Amino acid sequence: MKKVFGLLVFALLSSATYAAGFRVALQSTKQQGMGHIGAGLNVGPSNIFFNPGALALQDKGGIDVGGSAVLASNQYNLPGTTITHDLEDNVGTPVFLYGSFKLNDRLAGGLGVYTPYGNKVEWPEDWTGQFVSELVDLKSFFIQPTLSYQLDEKLGIGAGLIYALGIVTLERGIPAPTPTSNDATLESDGAASGIGFNAGVFYQPTEELSFGFNYRSKVEVDAEDGLVTTSFPANTNPAITSLFQATSFDATLPLPTEMALGAGWQVSDKLLLAADLNYIVWSQYEELVFNYNGDFGGPGVTTTVIPQNWEDAWTIKLGGQYAANEKLDLRLGGYLDYTPIPDFTLASITPDADRIGITGGATYKVSDNLDVDGALLYLKGDERTVLASENIANFGQRYDITVLAPSLGFGYSFN
């Protein structure tokens, strides 16, 4: 069967292979080292992401900047056969930048730029699932200006406006309509954006204990007037070319509500323990709909509806930090990340499974103002087998996911 068609759609369409659904849990090198925990801790400028309520309780502002190199391995196997395919080598590079400052004794502000969704998932050409997905290359950013207010010495609240934007490349094959049909190329190009908010409450009743709750709203990411172009060989049957008359598309993707409840316990001067419980309302992702301004794949076909019917999911995180000396902090952590994707809508565009993440990291204090942070995430997904999918008829799937993600960051605190 002949094929080839490339589709550039809008941001955030598909999965990051290192977090359940299409999330990326790499928003801080420091916090990555202890299981990506932060809702119940006062962690510095990265509270802009983890809990804006803690920002005003900091004595001074600062800057955190860093990024990760995500090395993902995912092997596909066609159940009942020896047919296997591996993801092509690729490196995802999520980044973050936070800056915070004190406006007065009670009020603090800041700006965060981070990558909550994004990665590259590339399967070999002519693989078994070529008509489902060959390439997903996702790039996205959230920009979040934030304000935080200290109600008293123990309690802070904060909120930030989220502006989401990005783009993704998606390529997949299509079977030729007839054995003698020629290959065709179709491309669509659309940028997307959306608005949401992030809000948090932070409470520290004693020097040893702290608690926090963070709420990140649903964001409707809209792509409008995405460009669609087609290219067919000169001898292609007009009956085939007439099936692809669309020149633009609109689409919307709901990025789900997320809630995090966290706690920290300063066991001693040297040892900090913490835990987070995240709840993601993935059930808001019921379907993905594309509306075209002309025929797309058939006479009178101007809408494509892809059922998703994802389910709400939990992430459970535990971690700790140990001050080895005045210059060096060491961290360990881990988490269980449950997939929201049911068997009947699983696809190779989001090759997802329940997964366990193990993390470690360290901070070296170069000076009173400058820190250098390093962390490493090892993630292993449960082997998952699905014999049939509502979205992909007669396509059996078995996936084995492994991820390694080193991270490097720098922190600078103002005097």
64 has a pLDDT exceeding 60: yes
Residue 235 pLDDT: 72
Query: Which region among 60-64, 282-286, 383-387 has the lowest average model confidence (pLDDT)?
Result: 383-387
- Kindly report the number of other CB atoms within 10 A of residue 379's CB atom: 22
Distance (Å, whole) CA 270 – CA 278: 27
What single string gives the DSSP state of each residue in 156-206? EEEEEEEEEEEEEEEEE----SSTTPPP-EEEEE--EEEEEEEEEEEE-SS
Residue 17 pLDDT: 46
DSSP strand pairing (185-189 vs 209-216): unpaired
Assign residue 36 a region (left: φ > 0; alpha: ψ between -120 and 50; beta: otherwise): left
Distance (Å, whole) CA 213 – CA 370: 29
56 vs 136, higher pLDDT: 56
* Residue given tokens 């290219």 in the structure block: 231
Query: Which region among 172-186, 225-239, 291-305, 392-406 has the lowest average model confidence (pLDDT)?
Result: 172-186
15 confidence band (pLDDT: 50, 70, 90):
very low
Length of the chain: 415
16 confidence band (pLDDT: 50, 70, 90):
very low
- Residue 122, Cα to own-chain centre: how many angstroms? 17
Residue 5 pLDDT: 34
Residue 189 pLDDT: 57
77 vs 68, higher pLDDT: 68
295 has a pLDDT exceeding 80: yes
Q: Which amino acid is at 318?
A: L
Distance (Å, whole) CA 119 – CA 403: 12
8 confidence band (pLDDT: 50, 70, 90):
very low
Residue 6 pLDDT: 35
By three-state DSSP, how is residue 271 classified? strand
Q: What is the mean pLDDT of residues 332-344?
A: 92
pLDDT tens figures, 199-256: 999 999 999 999 999 999 999 888 777 777 776 667 777 777 788 788 888 877 788 8
259 confidence band (pLDDT: 50, 70, 90):
very high
86 confidence band (pLDDT: 50, 70, 90):
confident
Distance (Å, whole) CA 73 – CA 401: 6
Distance (Å, whole) CA 164 – CA 324: 39
Residue 184 pLDDT: 45
Residue 198 pLDDT: 97
Residue 12 pLDDT: 36
Output the CA angle 247-189-284, nearest 5 degrees. 105
The residue ranges of every structural domain in the chain are 5-175+186-413
Rounded mean pLDDT of the chain? 84
pLDDT tens figures, 123-167: 777 777 766 667 766 677 899 999 999 999 999 999 999 999 877
9 has a pLDDT exceeding 50: no
Residue 172 pLDDT: 61
Residue 304 pLDDT: 80
Looking at CATH, the fold of the domain delimited by 5-175+186-413 is given as: Porin (2.40.160)
3 has a pLDDT exceeding 50: no
